[in-house]
Structure 1
Amino acid sequence: MDVKTGFFYLFSVVLLFAAFRVITARNPVHAVLYLMLAFSQASAVWLLLQAEFLAVVLVLVYLGAVMVLFLFVVMMLDLNVDSLRQGFWKHFPLAAAVGVVIALEMAYVLMGGFFRQMPAVAQTAASQVSNTKALGILLYTEYLYPVQIAAVILVVAMIAAIALTLRARKDTKFVHVDDQVKVKARDRMAVVKLAATQPAPAPAPPAETAPTAAAEKKA
C-alpha cells in the first residue's frame, strides 16, 4: 500500500466517523462542527483524486460560507434539544425504512457508476483539457438532464421550506399586492369643498385697563 492509498483510507475513515457523529450528536453546535470536519475530509479526498477545482469549491463555498452561516444560526436560535427529541422513537421505524431505501438507491447508483465505462468522447475530452473543463463537459453533455432535475428538486425544496416555516405575525402591518394594484385615486385622497373667500373676523373691542399707580397718586 503506497502513501496515497494510506491517506485515502485515513481521510475516508475520518469522513465516515464525522458523518456518523453529525446524526448522533446531542448538541446541534457539535453536529455542525462535525459536518465541517466531514466536508474538509471530503475536500482532501477530492485532492487525492486530482480534482482540485471541486476541493477548492467545497472549502470556499461550504466551509467558508454555508457552514459558518449554519453555525451562527444554530448558536443564535438556542434550540431546545429535549423538545426536539420528543417522539423520536415514535417515528423511528418510518425514518429507518426511508434511510434503508435511500442507502439501497445510492448503492445501486454508485455500483453502476463504478462498472460503467466513460464514453470515448468524454475520455478524449478529459485527457486533453483540465479537470475543471472536463467536469463542465460531462455536466452539460452526458449528465445534463440529471443536473437539471437536481436543480428543479432544490428549487422545490427551497420553496417548500419557505412555505412550511413562514408564519403570519399579527403585530405587523401587511398589505396584499392585489389591493395595492386595484387601488384608485379616490380611495387614497378625499376632496373637501371649502369656500373661496371668507369674511375677516371683526376686531375685538379694547379691554378696559385698570388705573395705573401714577393716576392713583394724583387722585
Structure 2
Amino acid sequence: MDAKTGFFYLFSAVLLYAAFRVITARNPVHAVLHLILAFSQAAGIWLLLKAEFLAITLILVYLGAVMVLFLFVVMMLDIRIDAVRRGFWRHFPLAALIGAIVTFEMAAVLMTGFRGMEEPKAIAGLVDAAGQVLPYSNTKALGKLLYSEYLYPVEVAAVILLVAMIAAIALTLRQRKDSKAIDPAEQIRVRAADRVVMMKMPVTQQASSEAVSAPAAEEKKQ
C-alpha cells in the first residue's frame, strides 16, 4: 500500500467517524465541530483526487464562512436539550426508515455502479506556439468550462444569490416602530439649549400675608 492509499483510508476513516458524531452528539456545538472536521477530511480526499479547486472552495466557503456562522448561531441560541429529546422516539421509526433507504441506495451504487469503469486518466498539458507542453491546471480548465459551456446556468445562479443577498439586507435594515434606539451621533452633538428652555411666566396668584410672615418669624426665633 502506497502513501496515497494510506492517506485515503485515513481521511475516509476520520470522515466517517466525524459524520457519525454529527448525528449522535448530544451537544449542538460538538456536532458543528465534528461537521467542520468532516468537511476538512472531505477536502483532503478531493486533494488526493487532484480536484484542488473543489478542496480549496470547501475550505474557504464552508469551513471559513458557513460553518463558523453556524457555530456562532448555535452558541448564541438558547437550545434546551431536554425539550429536543422529547420527540426523539416519536420520530425514530420514520428516521430509521429513511436511513435504511439511503443506506440501501448507497450500497447499490457502491456495489454495482462502478464496475467496468477505468480509472480516470490525467489530461495532457496544452502545447503552446513554440511546441512546449504547458502544465495542466484543473482550476483553469474548470473556469473555462463554467464560463463557456455553462455560462447561462452560472448567470442564473448569480442572479438568484444576488436577490437573496438583497432580501437579507432589506430584512435586516428595516426599521421597527417599537424600537427605542438612539443615534449616538445625535447624543454627542446635543446642547443644553436644545434640552432645557427657560420661560418667563407671569404670576397668576399673589402670595398671602401669612405665607410671607411665617419665614420671618422663624428667622427671629433662631
- Structures share a fold, TM > 0.5? yes
**Distance change >3 Å, CA 141–CA 92, structure 1 → 2:** farther
Deviations 1:75-102 (A, max 9, x none): 0002111111111111111111112222
Corresponding position of 2:199 = none
- Worse-superposed segment, 66-75 or 46-55: 46-55
Q: What letter is aligned with 1:132?
A: T
1:80 and 2:80 are equivalent in the alignment: yes
Corresponding position of 1:187 = none
TM-score (norm 2): 0.55
Q: What letter is aligned with 1:5?
A: T
**Distance change >3 Å, CA 82–CA 139, structure 1 → 2:** farther
Deviations 1:48-67 (A, max 9, x none): 11111111111111110011
Partners of 1:100 and 1:53 in 2: CA distance = 33
Corresponding position of 1:130 = 137
1:93 and 2:93 are equivalent in the alignment: yes
- For the residue of structure 1 that corresponds to 2:114, the secondary structure is helix
- For the residue of structure 2 that corresponds to 1:78, the secondary structure is coil
Aligned pairs (5 A) from 1:103-114: 103-109=103-109, 114=114
Structure 2: segments with no counterpart, 5+ residues: 126-135, 169-175, 179-222
Partners of 1:24 and 1:15 in 2: CA distance = 14
Alignment RMSD: 3.7
Deviations 1:176-196 (A, max 9, x none): xxxxxxxxxxxxxxxxxxxxx
Corresponding position of 1:13 = 13
**Distance change >3 Å, CA 83–CA 2, structure 1 → 2:** same
**Distance change >3 Å, CA 78–CA 117, structure 1 → 2:** same
Structure 1: segments with no counterpart, 5+ residues: 163-171, 175-219
Structure 1 residue 131, shift from structure 2 partner? 1.9
Give the total of aligned pairs.
150
- For the residue of structure 1 that corresponds to 2:86, the secondary structure is coil
Partners of 1:139 and 1:109 in 2: CA distance = 28
- For the residue of structure 1 that corresponds to 2:94, the secondary structure is helix
| Identity percentage of aligned residues | 66
Corresponding position of 2:69 = 69
Corresponding position of 2:40 = 40
TM-score (norm 1): 0.56
Corresponding position of 1:57 = 57
Deviations 1:133-153 (A, max 9, x none): 4446777999x7xx89xx7xx
Corresponding position of 2:184 = none
Q: What letter is aligned with 1:59?
A: I
Corresponding position of 2:200 = none
